[in-house]
Amino acid sequence: MYDVIIIGGGPGGYNAAIRAGQLGLSVAVIEGAQHLGGTCLNVGCMPAKSLLHASELYEMARTEFASFGIAVEPRLDLARMMAQKTEAVAKLVKGVEFLFRKNKVEWVRGWGRLDGESRVRVTGSTGEISVIEGRNIVLATGSRPSTLPGVCVDHRNIVTSTEALSFTQVPDRLIVIGAGVVGLEMGSIWCRLGSEVTVLEYADTILPGTDREIARTLERSLRKQGLNIRLGVRVASATPSDGAAVVTIEADSGVEAEKLMADKVLVAVGRRAFTDGLGLEVVGIVPDARGAIPHDGHYRTSAPGVWVIGDVTHGAMLAHKAEEEAIECIEIIAGKVSVSDDSDIPVVVYTRPELAAIGASEEELTAAGIDFRVGRFQFMANSRARINHETDGLVKMLVDTASDRILGIHMVGPQVGEMIAEARMALTFAATAEDVARTIHPHPTRSEALRQAAMDSAGWAMQA
Ligand code: NAD
């Protein structure tokens, strides 16, 4: 009988396992895929970041190196670019295996299914079945890409992000359905590598839910790079046709019905909790209307001894959210008082420039009737960004008027994904804007833009 059985070896599951091992619990992870790491390592964050980085270097070599006095004529070797991605991912997967050994975590290879109280049935790759028992079972089975009615994903011409991370040729024309995180990151990669990319988004903004000013700033930068972004269009259907695909746009107020052809269509309209074959009904767990497994606020499901973390439960579908929940859930199981805090989850979009945000948006504060001040600082006025020719974007800080507490920080700019942890730290310690304005930030760094935005919220930005 294990102390903890974890179903799923992604960022939720493997972090839970490592923490359980650290705390001296006996722990097994059931994972049926060939490699540990889940979507994030194998077909999500990590391969995407690898291609984002490589394609960014290619694009810079093509369009920007000359302005730094470097004359080159780059040639794309897509096979090599994909191979270095695969090699990098393989090393990360090995890293998780190493951490399992270090923390005495057992990897049970196969697909797990709840089989009654404390019991999990595991089906291996050749169909062999075993049953293992655990005092606690943590569900960390993640999510799968969603699709739309009328859109027929054939995984060849109409694909999900999984296939779009491994195209063997640059598609001449790529249509992306959805201007969410996946759509913009994958659209950026293939646009840089030479595709004519059209992004179709139903909402009237990219990244719905993001602070509007920040979303618009990123949208302008992406358009300048050549992404054809069409807002307010609803895709009615997408069907494969003769080695290509046809996308139909529905007629709507001000939008005419239209048919578009592309070599590839990427469906990036969100993800849904993955619970297929998990046997939830055996222990009486009922998913919510979105298919996610509910919990009591402390990761306990309705079934005794069964816990849930990550994409398969409610909340943002982000690896760092799953990691935070993993730590907290295991510490509760181990009887510790957990001090984790997943109240404000930072979001990063790894385009160029990057977008990073935490806390409330301007629209949310206005709707809630909160009296707030806004501090802004443009990267155009940041010396490091100017030196590096990366001046698109700004830092925007939203501050409670009465208390000066920071309510939200929203950024578009060069590598702001590396700056958002500072913003999270400020929120964790309930910082005021003045706390940040009076914190030394090294010069010349892009992080000074955050300090200047804090100063600006009180009317004393010094460098603008
Ligand atoms: P998303 O929910 O972020 O975006 C989906 C978009 O599709 C929305 O903008 C939506 O309005 C649009 N849409 C829906 N139906 C449509 C239709 N019929 N026609 C046109 N547009 C339509 O989903 P995603 O981008 O697929 O990402 C899935 C999940 O993975 C998200 O939770 C995301 O946060 C996560 N993810 C995160 C990162 C990161 O942190 N950098 C990277 C990739 C994915």
Is the beta carbon of 321 within 6 A of some atom in ligand 1? Answer: no
Q: What is the pLDDT, as a whole number, of residue 124?
A: 95
Q: Is the pLDDT of residue 255 over 80?
A: no
pLDDT digits (tens, 9 = 90+) for 403-454: 999 999 999 999 999 999 999 999 999 999 999 999 999 999 999 999 999 9
The two tokens of residue 347 are: 């979001």
Which of the four pLDDT bands, split at 50, 70 and 90, describes residue 278? Answer: very high
Nearest ligand 1 atom to the CA of 148 is 18
Calculate mean pLDDT across residues 340-363.
Answer: 93
CATH code, 158-269: 3.50.50.60
Which of the four pLDDT bands, split at 50, 70 and 90, describes residue 338? Answer: confident
Give the helix ranges, DSSP H, for 144-197: 161-164, 181-192
Nearest ligand 1 atom to the CA of 316 is 32
Q: Is the pLDDT of residue 357 over 90?
A: yes
Q: Which CATH architecture has domain 353-457?
A: 2-Layer Sandwich (3.30)
Give the helix ranges, DSSP H, for 166-289: 181-192, 212-224, 280-283
Nearest ligand 1 atom to the CA of 347 is 40
Is the beta carbon of 346 within 6 A of some atom in ligand 1? Answer: no
The residue contributing the CA closest to ligand 1 atom 38 is 181
Q: Is the pLDDT of residue 340 over 90?
A: no
Which of the four pLDDT bands, split at 50, 70 and 90, describes residue 105? Answer: very high
Which of the four pLDDT bands, split at 50, 70 and 90, describes residue 219? Answer: very high
Encode 12-29: b = buried (16+ Cβ within 10 Å), e = exposed: bbbbbbbbbbebebbbbb
Calculate mean pLDDT across residues 222-236.
Answer: 96
Domain 2-145+272-333 identical in fold to domain 353-457: no
Mutate to test the pocket of ligand 1, among 202, 255, 324 (most ligand atoms within 8 A of CB): 202
The residue contributing the CA closest to ligand 1 atom 4 is 180
Is the beta carbon of 181 within 6 A of some atom in ligand 1? Answer: yes
Could you give the CA distance from residue 218 to residue 27 in angstroms, rounded to a whole number? Answer: 44
Q: Is the pLDDT of residue 341 over 90?
A: no
Active-site residues: which are they?
443
State yes or no: cis peptide before 208, omega within 30 of 0: no
Calculate mean pLDDT across residues 47-73.
Answer: 98
Q: Is the pLDDT of residue 76 over 90?
A: yes
Q: Is the pLDDT of residue 253 over 90?
A: no
Mutate to test the pocket of ligand 1, among 52, 53, 182 (most ligand atoms within 8 A of CB): 182
CA of 364 to the centre of ligand 1 (A): 20
In the chain, % of residues over pLDDT 90: 96
Element (H, E) at 433: helix 433-437
Q: Map out the domains of the chain as residue ranges.
A: 2-145+272-333, 158-269, 353-457
The residue contributing the CA closest to ligand 1 atom 26 is 270
**Contact between 414 and 354 (Cβ < 8 Å):** yes
CATH code, 2-145+272-333: 3.50.50.60
